[in-house]
Structure 1
Amino acid sequence: MRTALSMTLSSFGANRVDFASRIHEALSRVQRGDIDVVLSDLSLSHPFDGLRLLEELKTRNLLKQSAVFMIVTAEANAQTVLSAAELAPDDYLLKPFSGETLRQRLVKAVAKKQAFKVVDQAILQHDYLRALAECNARIEERDPYVIDFMRLKARLSLLTGAFLEARQTYEQVLRIRPAPWARMGLGKSLFRLKDYPNARRVFESVLAENPYAMEAYDGLAGCLEAQEDLLSAQEVLSRAAARSPAIIQRQRQLGELAQRNADWPVAVDAFRNTIEYARYSFQHDAGDYAQLSQSLLASGETQSAEQTLAQVRRAFHTPQSDLLAHVMEYGIASARGDAVRAGKSLQAAREQFAELKDNLPGTYSVALAEACYRAGDEQAGKEVVSSLLRNQHDDVAVLRKVEQMFVAVGRESEGKALIEDHANDVVELNNAAVRMAQAGDLEGAVHHFLSALAERPGSMPVALNAISAVLAYVGQHGWHDAYMQLAQDLLARVGAQDPTNGKYQKMMQAYRMVRQQFGIKGA
Structure 2
Amino acid sequence: MKFSLLGKATLLVDDNPVMRKAIREMLYALDADQVSEADSGQAAIVAMTKTRFDVVLCDYNLGPGKNGQQVLEEARFRRLIDYRCVFVMISAEQSTAAVLGAMEGKPDEYLTKPFNAQQLISRLSRNFARKDFLAPVERAIDKGNLPLAIQQCDHLLAQNDKKMHLNLLKLRAELAISVGDFDKARAIYQEVLHQRELSWARIGLGVIDFQNNNIEQAIAGFRSLMAENPMLMECYDWLGKAYEALDQYGDVENVMHQALELSPQSILRQKKLAETADKNGNLETAEKAYKNVVKLGKHSVHRSSADYAGLARLYARSNAGTQALQVLEEMRKEYANQPEADLRASALEIEVFKALGNEEAADKALQRTVQLAGLLGNKAPRELQLEVVKACFQNDQHGKAEEILYDLIKYHIDDDAFLNAVRKMQSDIGLHNHSEILIQKTKQALIAANNRGVALYKQGKFKEALDLFEQAIVNLPDNKTIILNMLKIMIHDLKANDFDEEKNRRTKALFKKAKQIGVDPHKLGILQIEYAKLLHAHSERI
Q: Same fold (TM over 0.5)?
A: yes
In structure 2, what residue type is equivalent to 1:187?
Answer: G
CA-to-aligned-CA distance 1:140-198 (integer Å, 9 cap, x gap): 44332121112112333444454554444333322221112222333333223322222
Give the aligned partner of residue 385 of structure 2: 365
CA contact (8 A) 1:122 1:128 kept: yes
Give the drift of 1:369.
Answer: 2.6
Judging changes above 3 Å, is the alpha-carbon distance between structure 1 residues 81 and 183 closer, same or farther for their aligned structure 2 residues?
A: farther
Distance of 1:365 and 1:202 partners within structure 2 = 38
Judging changes above 3 Å, is the alpha-carbon distance between structure 1 residues 192 and 334 closer, same or farther for their aligned structure 2 residues?
A: farther
CA contact (8 A) 1:72 1:94 kept: yes
Judging changes above 3 Å, is the alpha-carbon distance between structure 1 residues 509 and 164 closer, same or farther for their aligned structure 2 residues?
A: closer
Matched, 1:203 2:226: no
Where 1:281 maps in the other structure, the secondary structure is coil
Distance of 2:42 and 2:466 partners within structure 1 = 43
**When the two structures are superposed, what TM-score results if normalisation uses the length of structure 2?**
0.81
Among the aligned pairs, what percent are the same residue?
27
CA contact (8 A) 1:358 1:457 kept: no
Name which of 429, 433, 447 aligns with 2:449: 429
Matched, 1:136 2:157: no
Distance of 2:160 and 2:98 partners within structure 1 = 29
Judging changes above 3 Å, is the alpha-carbon distance between structure 1 residues 154 and 520 closer, same or farther for their aligned structure 2 residues?
A: closer
Judging changes above 3 Å, is the alpha-carbon distance between structure 1 residues 22 and 206 closer, same or farther for their aligned structure 2 residues?
A: farther
Distance of 2:86 and 2:458 partners within structure 1 = 51
Judging changes above 3 Å, is the alpha-carbon distance between structure 1 residues 297 and 169 closer, same or farther for their aligned structure 2 residues?
A: farther
Name which of 340, 343, 356 aligns with 1:320: 340
Matched, 1:442 2:442: no
Give the aligned partner of residue 89 of structure 2: 71
CA contact (8 A) 1:252 1:270 kept: yes
Give the aligned partner of residue 333 of structure 1: 353
Distance of 2:299 and 2:523 partners within structure 1 = 33
* Structure 1 residue ranges without an equivalent (≥5): none
Distance of 1:107 and 1:247 partners within structure 2 = 30
Give the aligned partner of residue 296 of structure 1: 315
Give the aligned partner of residue 138 of structure 2: 120
* Structure 2 residue ranges without an equivalent (≥5): 1-18
Distance of 2:510 and 2:435 partners within structure 1 = 31
Distance of 1:438 and 1:15 partners within structure 2 = 64
Give the drift of 1:20.
Answer: 4.9
Distance of 1:466 and 1:493 partners within structure 2 = 11
Give the aligned partner of residue 174 of structure 1: 193
Judging changes above 3 Å, is the alpha-carbon distance between structure 1 residues 215 and 488 closer, same or farther for their aligned structure 2 residues?
A: closer
Distance of 1:227 and 1:450 partners within structure 2 = 36
In structure 2, what residue type is equivalent to 1:126?
Answer: G
Where 2:237 maps in the other structure, the secondary structure is helix
Distance of 1:357 and 1:174 partners within structure 2 = 51
CA contact (8 A) 2:55 2:87 kept: yes
Q: Give the number of the structure whose alpha-carbon radius of gyration is greater.
A: 2
In structure 1, what residue type is equivalent to 2:290?
Answer: F
Where 1:38 maps in the other structure, the secondary structure is strand
In structure 1, what residue type is equivalent to 2:343?
Answer: L
Judging changes above 3 Å, is the alpha-carbon distance between structure 1 residues 451 and 205 closer, same or farther for their aligned structure 2 residues?
A: same
Which stretch shifts more, 319-328 or 482-491? 482-491
Name which of 501, 521, 525 aligns with 1:501: 521
Count of aligned positions: 521
Give the aligned partner of residue 102 of structure 1: 120
In structure 2, what residue type is equivalent to 1:324?
Answer: R
Give the aligned partner of residue 193 of structure 1: 212
Distance of 2:252 and 2:207 partners within structure 1 = 16
In structure 2, what residue type is equivalent to 1:361?
Answer: P
In structure 2, what residue type is equivalent to 1:8?
Answer: M
Give the drift of 1:484.
Answer: 5.2
Give the drift of 1:257.
Answer: 0.7
In structure 2, what residue type is equivalent to 1:129?
Answer: P
Give the drift of 1:122.
Answer: 0.5
In structure 1, what residue type is equivalent to 2:24?
Answer: S
**When the two structures are superposed, what TM-score results if normalisation uses the length of structure 1?**
0.84
Distance of 2:423 and 2:234 partners within structure 1 = 27
Where 2:144 maps in the other structure, the secondary structure is coil
In structure 1, what residue type is equivalent to 2:30?
Answer: F
In structure 2, what residue type is equivalent to 1:181?
Answer: W
Matched, 1:111 2:137: no
Matched, 1:147 2:142: no
Distance of 2:421 and 2:496 partners within structure 1 = 42
Judging changes above 3 Å, is the alpha-carbon distance between structure 1 residues 118 and 442 closer, same or farther for their aligned structure 2 residues?
A: same
